[in-house]
Amino acid sequence: MAGHGRRHDGRVVEVREEAPGVYRVVVEKSGERHVYRVAARDGIVETPWGSYPVSELRRHSAARRGRGSSWLVEVEGGAVHVKLPVRVVQVIRGPGDAVEEGEVVMIVETMKMLNEVKSPCRGRIVEAAEEGGAVESGGLLFRVECG
């Protein structure tokens, strides 16, 4: 990943969106890891070693963690787990429904915010949390049979 700014000898080993617009970036340099928390402004993240478009960081982050992972959810294959406790506000696609990659499957509430949770792949929903129900941290929101 290349940015615009000061040259650095390190390499970016992890990029994770911790909250909307706030990123945790880990750089490895000379065997040491340096952690930076940076905010995006006007679609650009400023770091000590350069400036990066948010879209580039998201692509880098998705490639390292798994497609669709974010500050709120962790994706493993077609399984979407929450990192924080949530309440399921609306189930848009439920078990048996076909979905496309990136299609909104449900809307959840956490920290007084509504969040859309999207399908990590094209396929069919095989299980999903109940509308109105609570899902604890680490719990399964839904699973897609990808393919």
Rounded Cα distance, 54 and 43, in Å: 5
Tokens 């000898």 -> residue: 9
- Residue 2's pLDDT is 45
C-alpha separations of 131 from 88, 109, 127, 135 in Å: 5, 11, 12, 10
Residues of the chain with pLDDT below 50 are 1-8, 61-66
- Residue 92's pLDDT is 97
Beta strand 50-53 with 73-76: parallel, antiparallel or unpaired?
A: unpaired
Rounded Cα distance, 73 and 141, in Å: 9
Q: CATH topology for 73-146?
A: OB fold (Dihydrolipoamide Acetyltransferase, E2P) (2.40.50)
- Residue 4's pLDDT is 45
Rounded Cα distance, 33 and 72, in Å: 24
Domain with CATH 2.40.50.100 in the chain: 73-146
Token code pair at residue 98: 């076909």
